[in-house]
Amino acid sequence: MSDLEKSQLEELNRFAKTLDPSAVVLIKDDSPFMKFLNFFVRLFNKTFMTTYATTICNRVYIPRSWLGRDLRRLLVHEVGGHVRQCRACGLGIHPWVGFPIYMLLYMLVFFPIGLAWPRYRFELGSDARAWRWCLDNGESPDSVRERAKSFAQTVGSWDYLKPWPKTWVFNGFMKRVEAEISKPILVKEMTTRQIMKSEVALRGSRDAGEKPLDYPPPPEHDPVKEGFERWWDLREKQYRGAKGREPEVVVARQAWDAGWNAGTTRNKQEL
């Protein structure tokens, strides 16, 4: 493995551990166990080693060709979903404690093919976490719907041994994704001081050699607030896509404006 690949893998592991501290991301191509598993899985899934991530308890195996891509959404699905499900089956102690129960539910209950309702539910729950993460990070509802449709078709196919009737799988995914889209978007709040620091750092990098300003420019022309205005327009469209959310948009906007104006007034007084 090259130094670049090692650094990329380390970056993925750092993100994975923010979702579950026990998670480990490994390369599928280098795993003897994955090669052994592929000997059986390729009978019904010929692209198992090249187009699928595989999670075994707290270990996430990915194809080497995926290094360098943005795999955060995938890791939210695999770690935030499946690894956390294993942990939950072990009463929150550790994923390995719950792994035997998880595998029993995933593979055998109620029947491996056609009636494996827990497998369908585990996959639905994992992807729902990924949808929520994508929505909170600015992805459009239409894009999330398309992802849900695509994965629903995959889960209902022989790639997952047809765990549940395909129509039921698709309808279940569509109902759940609409429920996630209708929820309020998690807006990560920034304090006035954090916004100031961000602007100071930005101006310092743009104007190399100049000492950054200690305070943001006057509110009548403020690049930070203007950037927020553009970002807010996108968020507002996503909010208004959900019925009954309009009042939340107005209240949240008023609260942010009040906080910004109060912070700007206080900074002027300090000057």
Confidence (pLDDT) at 242: 53
Most confident region among 182-191, 214-223, 255-264 by mean pLDDT: 182-191
Region 153-158: what's the mean pLDDT? 92
- For residue 52, pLDDT over 80 is answered with yes
Is the pTM value of this prediction over 0.85?
Answer: no
CA 89 to each of CA 82, 94, 103, 106, 261: distance values in angstroms, whole numbers, following the listed order: 11, 9, 10, 11, 49
Angstrom distance (rounded) from CA 101 to CA 262: 54
80-98 tens-digit pLDDT: 999 999 999 999 999 999 9
Whether the predicted pLDDT of 31 surpasses 60 = yes
Q: H or E stretch including 73? A: helix 72-75
pLDDT digits (tens, 9 = 90+) for 202-252: 444 444 444 443 444 444 555 555 566 666 666 666 655 555 555 555 555
Report the candidate in 201, 195, 210, 188 with the shortest Cα–Cα distance to residue 266. 195
- Domain spans, the chain: 192-270
Counting residues of the chain whose pLDDT is more than 70, the rounded percentage is 68
CB 239 within 8 A of CB 245: yes
Is the model's pLDDT at 117 over the cut of 60? yes
Is 239 within 8 Å of 249 (Cβ atoms)? Answer: yes
Alpha carbon distance 212, 78 (integer Å): 42
What DSSP assignment string belongs to 1-40?
A: --HHHHHHHHHHHHHHHHH-TT-EEEEGGG-HHHHHHHHH
